């Protein structure tokens, strides 16, 4: 059984036991459970349910493993023949979730 959920403007394919890294969830505390209710697609064996836009009554429960920061991304800008160089770094805040249950 798997589902496709939407959170943080992105879509993720999840199964029970998966660990996924999503955009930071403000209200999530480490060790607590989070319910993702925007389920776009649900598959159980040969039976598939497509949401319009979401599947009614479906939800995914996940346990918050960590609130952390993603690896650093370097942004380098350069103009040829002008002597202009600029280097910036960025680390995005993320939440790490472990999927515990998929409810149809």
Instruction: Specify the pLDDT at position 89.
Output: 97
Range of the domain at 42: 2-67+95-103
- Give the total number of structural domains in the chain: 1
Number of C-beta neighbours around residue 26 at 10 A: 7
For the chain (104 residues), the mean pLDDT of every run of 10, in chain order, is 94 95 94 94 92 93 96 97 97 97 91
Determine the pLDDT at residue 39: 95
Do the beta carbons of residue 97 and residue 64 sit within 8 Å? Answer: yes
Q: Report d(CA 13, CA 5) in Å as an integer.
A: 7
58 domain-assigned: yes
Please tell me the predicted confidence (pLDDT) of residue 15. Answer: 95
Rounded distance, CA 5 to CA 64, Å?
16
Q: Is residue 83 part of a domain?
A: no
Phi-psi region of 25 (alpha: psi -120 to 50; beta: other; left: phi over 0): beta
Q: Do residues 40 and 59 touch, judged by C-beta distance below 8 A?
A: no
Is residue 11 domain-resident? yes
Domain-located, residue 81: no
DSSP letters spanning 41-58: EEEETTEEEE-SSS-TT-
pLDDT confidence of residue 104: 84
Q: Is 14 inside a domain boundary?
A: yes
């Amino acid at each position: 059984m798997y589902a496709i959920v939407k959170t943080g403007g992105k879509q993720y394919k999840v199964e029970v036991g998966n660990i996924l890294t999503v955009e930071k969830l403000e209200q999530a505390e480490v060790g607590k459970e989070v319910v993702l209710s925007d389920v776009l697609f649900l598959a159980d064996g040969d039976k598939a349910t497509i949401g319009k836009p979401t599947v009614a009554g479906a939800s995914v429960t996940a346990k918050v493993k960590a609130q952390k920061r993603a690896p650093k991304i370097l942004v380098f800008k350069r103009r040829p023949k002008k002597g202009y160089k600029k280097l910036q770094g960025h680390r995005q805040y993320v939440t790490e979730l472990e999927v515990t249950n998929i409810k149809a």
